[in-house]
Structure 1
Amino acid sequence: MESQVLVALALSLVGGLSTSLGALFVIINKAPNLNMLGLLQGFAAGLMLSISFLDLAHNALNSIGFLKGNLWFFAGVLFFALVVNFIPEPTVVPQSETDKNKKQHESEDEGSGKDMMKKHRRQVFFSGIITAVGISLHNFPEGMAVFLGSIKGLRVGLNLALAIALHNIPEGVAVALPVYFATNSKWQAFKLATLSGFAEPLGVVVVAYLFPSSLNPEILEGLLGSVGGVMAFLTLHEMLPLAFDYAGQKQAVKAVFVGMAFMSASLYFLEISLPEMTL
């Protein structure tokens, strides 16, 4: 069990630290390339859909039956729908909005608007903090999903960690962009984005010590089916709309199918390359 926790921690750290990559997009470039982020979201959505339907849900249906598998799957959908309802995930601020705000601040500077500008910067900084908290709360169940996948086998854990890592890069942008704009501090933007990603390994630690060391195989398959429901809802509710907004519908759909093909290939090659006991 300890080795499984360590593997899950390592995989969740990869996913969690991907928010740092998103922060780097912000602090290295003058403006994040939203088209590239959209394609990345579409690609990650394809990975998620393949994992959800062709791996997790498929295995649950085959292992515990059609009815039970569907009940577990939709329980996962309902769980994450409730999470999103109470904690809607923030999105990346469009660059045009940021530019408009900057011009407004410049005009305020020329007059007597310095106090207004300071107030607005505080508001933007506060929005960055709220964004970091919201994304942290979203990352927590993702860490739980990686742990449950790792219990099932290294292949499942690896695939989940890869898809979540790609999804977390735009999340890092969503945290870093308002913080950098408000504080003009690259370090503050990078630090807050990175800290928001650490909720993922925290989710691994919490669930590892809440769950018994040996789970009933039927319950494990059901939990993995519910993880598939969580991933499917996250993909269709949040990732695809962002991909459409940033990259355009046609390009985003192409990226989705490229992601699905990539994940299908990785599932095959991992299956034939990893020892059978770890799958």
Structure 2
Amino acid sequence: MDSQLLVALALSLVGGLSNSVGALFVIVNQAPNLKVLGLLQGFAAGLMLSISFLDLAHNAMNSIGFLKGNLWFFAGVIFFAVIAKFIPEPTPASVSDGKTKKKSGDEGGKDIEKKHRRQLLYSGVVTAIGISLHNFPEGMAVFLGSMKGLRVGVNLALAIALHNIPEGVAVALPIYFATQSKWQAFKLATLSGFAEPLGVIVVAYLFPSSLSPEILEGLLGSVGGVMAFLTLHEMLPLAFDYAGQKQAVKAVFFGMAFMSASLYFLEMSLPEEMSL
């Protein structure tokens, strides 16, 4: 369990620190290229879909049966749907109006500008809280994937890391326009990513050191459901909005092809003892 926990923590830190990469997009460019973010989301969506359906759900149904595998999968869908209902995740597009608000504040006087900056600061803080709460179950997913094997954990961490870059933008953009502080924007975006390794730590102490193979496969099937819902509910709409439907679909299939290839080559190259 100790080695699994360390590996899962390392992988979740990669995903969590991707929020910091998103913050760098803001403090370096100040106007992030939304088309690039859209293509990135489309690529990450392809990775997620391959992991969800071709790996996690597929293996669960093969291991514990079609009915039980589906029940676990849709339990994961329902779990994350409830989270999404009560904690809607803001997007970079919803906060990118900060620059416009700032300009209108300049025209209307200092009082209006201060009001807009307070609104943007509030928006950034709420966004950070929402994204932190979303990152928590993602850390749980990485830990459960790492219990299955290094291959599963690495693939999940990669897909989640790509997904988290636009989340970092969503946090940093309003904070930067509200405070004019690059450090504050970067700091809050980075802190929101630390919810991911926190999820790893919590789930590591919730579950016993040795789960039965059937329960582990079922939990991984539910992780597939979580990833599938996250992809279809949040990532694909962003990819379509930012990159356009045609380009986003190409990015999705490119991501699926990339993940299928990685699943194959990792399976072939990893020695048996590397499976955790």
Compute the TM-score of the two structures, normalised by the length of structure 2: 0.98
Q: Which amino acid aligns with 1:182?
A: A
Shift, 1:106, TM fit? 1.8
Structure 1 equivalent of residue 228 of structure 2: 232
Structure 2 equivalent of residue 272 of structure 1: 268
Question: How far apart in 1 are the matches of 2:145 and 2:168?
Answer: 24
Which stretches of structure 1, 4 residues or longer, exceed 6 Å deviation after superposition? none
| 249, 256, 264: which one aligns with 2:252 | 256
Number of aligned residue pairs: 275
Matched, 1:63 2:59: no
Contact 2:41 2:163 in 1 (8 A): yes
Question: How far apart in 2 are the matches of 1:278 and 1:218?
Answer: 21
The one-character-per-residue Cα deviations of 1:103-147 (angstroms, maximum 9, x if unpaired) are 211211xxxx31221122011101100000000000000000000
Contact 1:41 1:239 in 2 (8 A): yes
Question: How far apart in 2 are the matches of 1:69 and 1:210?
Answer: 22
Shift, 1:252, TM fit? 0.2
Structure 2 equivalent of residue 141 of structure 1: 137
The one-character-per-residue Cα deviations of 1:191-233 (angstroms, maximum 9, x if unpaired) are 0000000000000000001110000100000000000000000
Structure 2 equivalent of residue 86 of structure 1: 86
Question: How far apart in 1 are the matches of 2:96 and 2:226?
Answer: 33
* Other structure's SS at 1:59 match: helix
For 1:111-150, list aligned pairs within 5 A.
113-150=109-146
Structure 2 equivalent of residue 34 of structure 1: 34
Structure 2 equivalent of residue 201 of structure 1: 197
Matched, 1:18 2:18: yes
5+ unaligned residues in a row in structure 2: which ranges? none
Structure 2 equivalent of residue 221 of structure 1: 217
* Other structure's SS at 1:135 match: helix
Contact 2:95 2:170 in 1 (8 A): no
Structure 2 equivalent of residue 54 of structure 1: 54
Matched, 1:168 2:164: yes
Question: How far apart in 2 are the matches of 1:265 and 1:145?
Answer: 22
Q: Give RMSD over aligned pairs.
A: 1.1
Identity, in percent, stands at 83
* Other structure's SS at 2:210 match: coil
Matched, 1:189 2:185: yes
Deviates further, 88-97 or 192-201? 88-97
5+ unaligned residues in a row in structure 1: which ranges? none
Matched, 1:157 2:135: no
Question: How far apart in 2 are the matches of 1:4 and 1:183?
Answer: 40
The one-character-per-residue Cα deviations of 1:31-60 (angstroms, maximum 9, x if unpaired) are 101000000000000000000000000000
Question: How far apart in 2 are the matches of 1:36 and 1:241?
Answer: 15
Compute the TM-score of the two structures, normalised by the length of structure 1: 0.97
Shift, 1:276, TM fit? 2.2
Question: How far apart in 1 are the matches of 2:258 and 2:201?
Answer: 30
Contact 1:31 1:95 in 2 (8 A): no
- Residues 96, 278 of structure 1: alpha-carbon distance in 2 compared, 3 angstrom cutoff: closer
